[in-house]
Amino acid sequence: MKCIKYIVLLITYGTSFLHRLKSWNFFVISICFLFYSSCNIHTEQLNTEGFSDSLTVSINLKDTSINTTGELFDSIEYIFLESSTEESIFSNIDKIEITDNYYIILDTRTNKLLFFNKDGRFSHSLPQVLANGDSIFTTLSDFTVNENKEEILIYDSGIAFDGVIKTDFHGTYKLASRTPMSFNEFALGEGGMFYYKRYSSKYYKSVESNNENHLLYYVSDSSSIKYLYFSYDSKIINGRDMYDLDHMFTRSGNKVYFQRPFDYSVYEFNMNGTKSLRIDFLFPNYSKFPEDFLRNNKYLGNRISEFKAPSNKLKIWTISSYHRVLNSIIFNINIVGSKDFSFLYNLKNKKYYNIENIYSSSISNWMPFFEDRIIAADNKSYYSYITPKLMLQAYRTLGDRHLKNSPFILKKIKELTIFSNPILVRLEPRSN
């Protein structure tokens, strides 16, 4: 009976789905596949508190030590992203994926997915419309990359379809596949996908049989739910009294990290969906929300008002933008009623540095190297970005003298306007 209901739901959205699948035969095949997979969902609930390994990061918010980029980074590189054509111009980096050949950038304001070569030259953007006039996507909300298969997986929030659209790197349409639950963000695993489902999101009857709500799902390539994480009771907490982060997932190397509001831990997962490590952050008690803030039903319906209460101003409400490279991590501390603070933490010697107090030096040509947050990391480096406005302001203040040994950077800065693309910054941390 549940399988029949699931197929009815799919047929309800058949028009938009057909538009993507291009043929009735493909549609029928897809129904059969989804019928099979929805009737064979296997769930395995794991205790979210059962991380066998943990790491403690202790931060004193009053630390004011001063350091320079040369003391903490081996190299800093500026990548000026080409903005010479209308197609190459974008306004914001909402998400970036780094492959061997490309920087792939999502800008939700312009609804673009852009490919830049590693030297910053523009390569192409993903076409929104195919040659025959059919849309690949309407509203880009999230994407991830399977580099081994050279595939782009897109979450399109502009259609009545809970699923993933798959194309190659040049927009050749491959498949639209439905997921067994509605979701708000995803991350690529190995043989499956991580999906985040907000407290307020609805999910289908095929998942309701476990009688529990969860925030995090790991779904195998065969569309079966393999792992469920972060169960919650909707009588204690729901979407009407909870904020979200812009990015619940980050990825560094072969690990996926999950962060959620009012939780002072970050959760590391292996690419196969299994738990790896819990990173616990220790802050002064005065700077935190109550320990039972997510678990006590006295806060039901009141969490947002508690969040905004004057007594909670300047309290930490989440950890975000967590990335790891070698023996270091960088993360943001989000504070109520204040700007975010970014910290670099050395896992070997347990020293930490407020990035706001790291001054630019010769290794970064005394130019700005960080503005908001770390947006990505690979096996060797962190990636940030700065706006052309900030770079131009610094250049007008400092002049040419600090760039006499970097003629390429000087040339690129002189070509900038305030309408140019953001500048990527690659930061390679010291290994010691």
Percentage, residues of the chain above pLDDT 70: 82
The reply to whether 244 falls in a domain is no
- Residue 294 is classified by DSSP as T
Number of domains in the chain: 1
Check: CB of residue 124 under 8 Å from CB of residue 116: no
Six-digit token string for 358: 């790291």
3-class DSSP state of 276 = strand
Bridge-based pairing of strands 173-178 and 185-188 is: unpaired
Q: At what angle do helices 24-38 and 14-21 cross, to 10 degrees?
A: 120
Structure tokens at 220: 């195998």
158 token code pair = 């502009």
More confident residue, 273 or 41: 273
Measured CA to CA, the distance from residue 122 to residue 87 in angstroms comes to: 9
Q: Give the closest residue to 141 by CA, choosing from 163, 158, 117, 128.
A: 158
Q: What range does the domain containing 13 cover?
A: 1-40
Cα of 126 vs its chain's centroid, Å: 19
pTM: 0.83
Establish if 307 belongs to a structural domain: no
In this predicted model, what pLDDT tens digit does every residue of 26-36 receive, in sequence order?
A: 333 333 333 33
β-pair partners for 338: none
From 354, 369, 243, 260, select the one nearest 307 (Cα to Cα): 243
**Residue 119, both tokens:** 């030297």
- Domain assignment present for 259: no
- C-alpha closest to that of 8 among 33, 27, 30, 31: 31
Establish if 35 belongs to a structural domain: yes
Q: Pairing state of beta strands 316-325 and 275-282?
A: unpaired
Tens of pLDDT, residues 34-93: 333 333 333 333 344 568 789 999 998 877 789 999 999 999 999 999 999 999 999 899
Looking at the domain assignment, is residue 8 inside a domain? yes
Does residue 165 belong to any structural domain of this protein?
no
- Is 59 inside a domain boundary? no
Position 229 pLDDT exceeds 70: yes
> Is pLDDT at 125 greater than 50 in this prediction?
yes
pLDDT in tens, 344-391: 999 999 999 999 999 999 999 999 999 889 999 999 999 999 999 999
Number of Cβ within 10 Å of residue 401's Cβ equals 7
Domain assignment of residue 18, yes or no: yes
